[in-house]
């Protein structure tokens, strides 16, 4: 026996090229849609992850200092401004504050990197307070330094890989030609820390000849009023307060315009694909008028014909949608790379996060829109009168 669904399915094979082209159209538009939705989620998740990885929620730095160590690297070590280390102690006294850690960022020029040299970045951190801020750091080899003025270093995963360093090896601070012993190499964190070299604060201060710091990392008490604390900190002289929730908001605002634009593109892509669907199904109905008439002579009710044509639409949209989602998942990494090239700031980690729920949502959208598009052709098919259609040939 044959069922109505089988009839609908087989009808799609009549004009294979046409069915395939329509499928490709749906596939591409669902690929775009699910990637965009995945990106929306992924970006925010990755941003949150990056911020969580910082370990502290607020940073106090000298006015004029850029946010990221990476940006600092690009601009070179000069132009950094400093704050007094005593400020860290006074901030610690605030009731909202759980922990503080003083950090000194320095960069040195290494003329032997490539043809025109490069910057090597170092973080001077307090071994008593910094590791506690980042309890999720895992070590590939070794561990943190204990002595605050030891000539030692802990390297991020990629920094160690580039220098082919293992625990026990020496590194050389360029410009100053000071040797440090590697005591720890970290596992990948997926953040900027992977490319950082950590040195005890006092050691870096001695190497640089500075007794100040550039940043204070602040961890806020669990239920404290962050806004209140921020207000207090704003009042401090010559410093700027960087709140990561603010940073996140700024970045999200920056890309929200991009998101809206890109989502509009996705919507347009879907509309175009659906127009293709309407065209395909309508054309196939018009080509099959006589056949539809015959089906009616066999006892097919108008609703049966409607259902038949609508089922064809459903199959097209479902298959195209699933194929598009499958492709999106497969090429999620490639899409990741593409997106990173375009955006101004891209957090580390997977940018395009497509999970089952998102996939189902996209499929539901595609199928729903498809079914709506299929209403007219299906209705038209249902209304065919056998006599008119059979007589069409003359």
CB of 308 to other proteins, least distance (A): 9
CB 239 within 8 A of CB 60: yes
At which residue do the structure tokens 């309890």 appear? 135
Given 78, 115, 237, 257, the residue binding other proteins (CB under 8 A): 115
Rule CB under 8 A: say whether 380 interacts with other proteins: no
Rule CB under 8 A: say whether 136 interacts with other proteins: no
CA atoms within 13 A on the CB side of 258: 14
Q: With CB under 8 A as the rule, give the number of residues binding other proteins.
A: 57
Rule CB under 8 A: say whether 231 interacts with other proteins: no
- State the Cα–Cα distance between residues 342 and 340, nearest whole angstrom: 5
- State the Cα–Cα distance between residues 65 and 72, nearest whole angstrom: 8
Measured at the alpha carbon of residue 255, what is the angle toward residues 251 and 256, in degrees to the nearest 5? 110
Q: Which is nearer to other proteins, 224 or 323 (CB)?
A: 323
Given 70, 74, 132, 162, the residue binding other proteins (CB under 8 A): 162
CB 31 within 8 A of CB 321: no
CB 356 within 8 A of CB 329: no
Rule CB under 8 A: say whether 1 interacts with other proteins: yes
Strand partners of residue 200: 125
CB 111 within 8 A of CB 66: no
Given 113, 272, 287, 372, the residue binding other proteins (CB under 8 A): 113
CB of 71 to other proteins, least distance (A): 20
Rule CB under 8 A: say whether 340 interacts with other proteins: no
User: Is the torsion defined by CA of 121, 127, 132, 135 positive or negative?
Assistant: positive
CB 301 within 8 A of CB 308: no
- State the Cα–Cα distance between residues 292 and 296, nearest whole angstrom: 6
Q: Which is nearer to other proteins, 343 or 390 (CB)?
A: 390
Taking contact as CB under 8 A, which single stretch among the options 220-228, 236-244, 268-276, 383-391 is the one that binds other proteins? 383-391
Q: Which is nearer to other proteins, 140 or 206 (CB)?
A: 140
Given 174, 184, 195, 321, the residue binding other proteins (CB under 8 A): 174
Taking contact as CB under 8 A, which single stretch among the options 131-139, 166-174, 247-255, 271-279 is the one that binds other proteins? 166-174
Taking contact as CB under 8 A, which single stretch among the options 68-76, 165-173, 258-266, 342-350 is the one that binds other proteins? 165-173
Q: Which is nearer to other proteins, 112 or 237 (CB)?
A: 112
Rule CB under 8 A: say whether 169 interacts with other proteins: yes
Taking contact as CB under 8 A, which single stretch among the options 5-13, 73-81, 97-105, 373-381 is the one that binds other proteins? 5-13
Joined together, the tokens standing for residue 309 give 């044509």
At which residue do the structure tokens 């990741």 appear? 336
Rule CB under 8 A: say whether 394 interacts with other proteins: no
End-to-end CA, the chain: 33
Rule CB under 8 A: say whether 258 interacts with other proteins: no
Nearest to 107 by CA among 89, 87, 127, 121: 121
For 50, 90, 240, 249, 304, the CA distances from 44, given in Å and listed in that order, are 10, 34, 25, 10, 47
Given 44, 94, 161, 187, the residue binding other proteins (CB under 8 A): 161
Rule CB under 8 A: say whether 387 interacts with other proteins: yes
Residue 157's region, left for phi above 0, alpha for psi from -120 to 50, else beta, is: alpha
How many CB atoms within 10 Å of residue 172? Answer: 14
CA atoms within 13 A on the CB side of 383: 7
Task: Considering only residues 6 through 35, tell me which ones interact with other proteins, judged by CB under 8 A.
Answer: 6-7, 9-11, 13-14, 16, 20, 23-24
Q: Which is nearer to other proteins, 219 or 380 (CB)?
A: 380
CB of 150 to other proteins, least distance (A): 17
Rule CB under 8 A: say whether 304 interacts with other proteins: yes
- State the Cα–Cα distance between residues 282 and 310, nearest whole angstrom: 11
Rule CB under 8 A: say whether 287 interacts with other proteins: no
Please give the residue ranges that form the binding site for other proteins (CB under 8 A).
Answer: 1-4, 6-7, 9-11, 13-14, 16, 20, 23-24, 110-115, 140-141, 161-166, 169-172, 174, 177, 179, 290-291, 294-302, 304, 323, 327, 334, 383, 385-387, 390, 393
């Amino acid at each position: 026996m044959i069922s109505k669904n089988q009839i609908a399915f087989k009808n799609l094979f009549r004009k294979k090229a046409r069915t395939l082209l329509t499928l490709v159209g749906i596939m591409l538009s669902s690929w775009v849609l699910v990637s965009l939705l995945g990106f929306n989620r992924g970006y925010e998740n990755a941003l949150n992850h990056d911020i969580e990885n910082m370990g502290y929620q607020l940073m106090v730095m000298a006015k004029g200092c850029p946010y990221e160590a990476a940006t600092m690297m690009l601009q070179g070590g000069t132009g950094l401004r400093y704050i007094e280390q005593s400020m860290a102690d006074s901030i610690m006294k605030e009731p909202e504050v759980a922990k503080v850690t003083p950090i000194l960022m320095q960069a040195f020029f290494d003329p032997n990197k490539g043809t025109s040299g490069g910057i090597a970045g170092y973080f001077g951190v307090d071994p008593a307070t910094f590791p506690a801020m980042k309890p999720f750091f895992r070590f590939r080899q070794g561990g943190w330094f204990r002595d605050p003025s030891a000539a030692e270093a802990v390297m991020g995963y990629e920094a160690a890989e580039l220098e082919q360093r293992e625990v026990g090896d020496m590194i050389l601070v360029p410009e100053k030609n000071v040797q440090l012993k590697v005591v720890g190499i970290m596992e990948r964190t997926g953040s900027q820390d992977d490319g950082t070299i950590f040195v005890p604060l006092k050691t870096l201060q001695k190497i640089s000849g500075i007794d100040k710091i550039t940043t204070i990392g602040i961890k806020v008490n669990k239920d404290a009023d962050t806004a209140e604390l921020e207000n207090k900190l704003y009042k401090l002289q010559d410093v700027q307060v960087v709140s990561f929730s603010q940073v996140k908001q700024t970045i999200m605002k920056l890309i929200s315009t991009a998101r809206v634009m890109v989502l509009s593109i996705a919507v347009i892509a879907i509309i175009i694909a659906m127009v293709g669907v309407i065209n395909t199904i309508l054309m196939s109905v018009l080509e099959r008028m006589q056949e539809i008439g015959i089906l009616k002579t066999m006892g097919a009710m108008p609703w049966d014909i409607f259902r038949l044509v609508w089922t064809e639409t459903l199959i097209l949209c479902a298959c195209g949608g699933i194929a598009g989602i499958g492709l999106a998942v497969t090429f999620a990494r490639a899409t990741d790379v593409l997106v990173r090239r375009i955006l101004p700031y891209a957090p580390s980690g997977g940018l395009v996060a497509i999970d089952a729920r998102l996939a189902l949502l996209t499929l539901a959208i595609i199928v729903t829109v498809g079914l709506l598009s299929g209403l007219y052709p299906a209705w038209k098919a249902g209304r065919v009168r056998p006599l008119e259609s059979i007589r069409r040939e003359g």
